[in-house]
Amino acid sequence: MGGDGRIVVDILLADHPVVEGFLDPVRRRAAEFGAAHPDYEIRISTYRYWSETGREDFIRTLEQGRVPALVDVFFTETQHARDAVAATGGPLFTPVQRAVGGRREILGEPVILDDFIDTARRYYSYDGELVSVPFSVSTGLLYANMTMLRAAGITEVPQDWEGLEAACRAVMRTDGGPSHAITWAVDGWFFQDAVCHQSGLLVDHANGRSDRAQKVDLASEELLAWATWWQRLHKDGLYLHTGAAQDWMGTFKAFTEGRVAFLYNSSVMAQPVVSAAAKAGIDVVACGLPHNGAVPYGGNVLGGDSLFLAAGLSPEVEDGALAFLQYLLNPDGAAAWHKSSGFIPVTHGSHQLLEAEGWFAEKPHHLEAPKQLGASDGSPAATGALVGELSSVHADLVQAMRDVLEQGADPARRFTQATVTAQRRLDDYNRRTAERHAARETSPPDRYGEAADVPEAS
């Protein structure tokens, strides 16, 4: 309860390290909700997951067993949040769908849980139950410099690896062509996407969707197909390796400055890429990421984050948190968040609203990401892996690929070594999780429901 007698709903959100005012639209929605529901105050605190110690600090918050009513969780930490234990000994979070309990409105706010796009709903569900609320959703896209492509006699953007490689070679053969043709950040997300495209699995038990993941495979046929193709592009001088891991900004600049013809990047960057390229006189088209044409297409993995609901809240606080979720992501709210952040409109209602406004007709580059996620076959492989230490698995993939690109390491051998390292991490995570659950079960009950002491980000 706040000092003015209002019911306080505390929320912890991930802020963006470089985008000033990134969360301002959410703060405005919180203020609007408070005005419409004068008994409630939505109080927002922030953390920076992408800072030097951000992930460790966030995991520590989960392990303390005390969190605010709503917590913003990056997709790689979904299993951590599901496994987190409260000070009372039970789960730290409760599934949102279970808390809603079939209601059609909460505090007068229409429930929108059934309106989420299918891919996002599947990713954040388990056994058919929506566990957390998709908030910021993205996927990978290919950005093509059509100015360069037309000069090479190419009028359509390739949709498979073979066609993309041929287009890269054609661009580099043109008079005054670039020294390299394509670039992307060395990041674990693109490995996941490539495996997902080919309907491959990163971990066992249906990608961690039917039971807890116990085995990881970073040397699968699908992953090695991607790594070997990537290695060939690099050896043949087609792929530009900036020399840094996860160099999203360096690869962005290489494309928008006209030094390459193709860029793999996030759908969140669609507007910045198109705008920066336009200033340089470059005509850009956004498309789905090309896939391995030798195998059937499975789908695109998503990125972003979701909102988890704390367990053990008082009924008044829980209803306030649930009502705010519905308000935050109703058609107007989800559409506004898309416009300000670049994340995909996460509900069908928001997509329809934007379409009716002519948003996609004016900015077609924002339409490609929803189209790609909508093309998923819905399988566990296409849904994406649910596994502990996923961010560390990404780091293992990055280091292995850097060794392939920079040291000439054999992909099969190097990714087999990476599998051993990742398996050790997963085994340790599962062991620690089991021990923590066992310890909590024997600990005395404690009062729960207070907000964590998380400082406001500067």
Indicate which CATH number applies to the domain containing 44.
3.40.190.10
334-366 pLDDT, tens per residue?
999 999 999 999 999 999 999 999 999 999 999
The string of pLDDT tens digits covering residues 71-90 is: 999 999 999 999 999 988 89
Q: 95 Cβ partners below 8 Å, 6+ apart?
A: 126, 129, 130, 131, 132, 309
List average pLDDT for each run of 10 residues in the chain, which is 458 residues long. 84 85 95 98 93 89 94 97 93 98 97 97 96 97 97 96 98 95 97 96 97 98 98 98 95 98 97 96 96 94 96 98 98 97 97 98 96 93 96 97 98 98 97 84 44 39
247 occurs within a structural domain: yes
CA angle 250, 343, 80 (to 5 degrees): 90
**Does residue 1 fall inside a structural domain?**
no
Residue 435 counted as domain residue: no
Any domain includes 451: no
Do 151 and 254 lie in a common domain? Answer: yes
213 and 307 together in one domain: no
User: Do both 296 and 306 map to the same domain?
Assistant: no
Does residue 85 form part of some domain?
yes
Q: Say if residue 416 is in the same domain as residue 274.
A: yes
Query: How far apart, in whole angstroms, are the C-alpha atoms of residue 310 and residue 450?
Result: 10
In a domain, 207, yes or no: yes
Domain that holds residue 368: 7-131+302-374
Are 190 and 81 members of one domain? no
Q: State the pTM of this model.
A: 0.94
pLDDT at 51 (0 to 100):
80
Domain count, the chain: 2
Question: Within this chain, do residues 279 and 403 fall inside the same structural domain, yes or no?
Answer: yes
Question: Are residues 18 and 59 part of one domain?
Answer: yes
256 within domain boundaries = yes
368 and 393 share a domain?
Answer: no
- For the chain, give the secondary structure using H, E and C: CCCCCCEEEEEEEECCCCCCCCCHHHHHHHHHHHHHCCCEEEEEEEECCCCCCHHHHHHHHHHHCCCCCEEEEEHHHHHHHHHCECCCCCECEECHHHHHCCCCEECCEECCHHHECHHHHHHCEECCEECCEEEEEECEEEEEEHHHHHHCCCCCCCCEHHHHHHHHHHHHHCCCCCCCCEECCCCHHHHHHHHHHCCCCCEHHHHHCCCCCCCECCCCHHHHHHHHHHHHHHHCCCECCCCCCCCHHHHHHHHHCCCCCEEEEEHHHHHHHHHHHHHCCCCEEEEECCECCCCCCCCCCCEEEEEEEECCCCHHHHHHHHHHHHHHCCHHHHHHHHHHHCCCCCEHHHHHHHHHHCHHHHCHHHCHHHHHHHCCCCCHHHHCCCCCCHHHHHHHHHHHHHHHHHHCCCHHHHHHHHHHHHHHHHHHHHHHHHHHHHHHHHCCCCCCCCCCCCCCCC
Say yes or no: 115 and 160 in one domain: no
pLDDT at 27: 97
Q: Is 253 in the same domain as 368? A: no
Q: Is residue 269 located within the same domain as residue 222?
A: yes
125 and 38 inside one domain: yes
439 is a domain residue: no
Angle (CA) 405-411-417 rounded to 5° is: 110
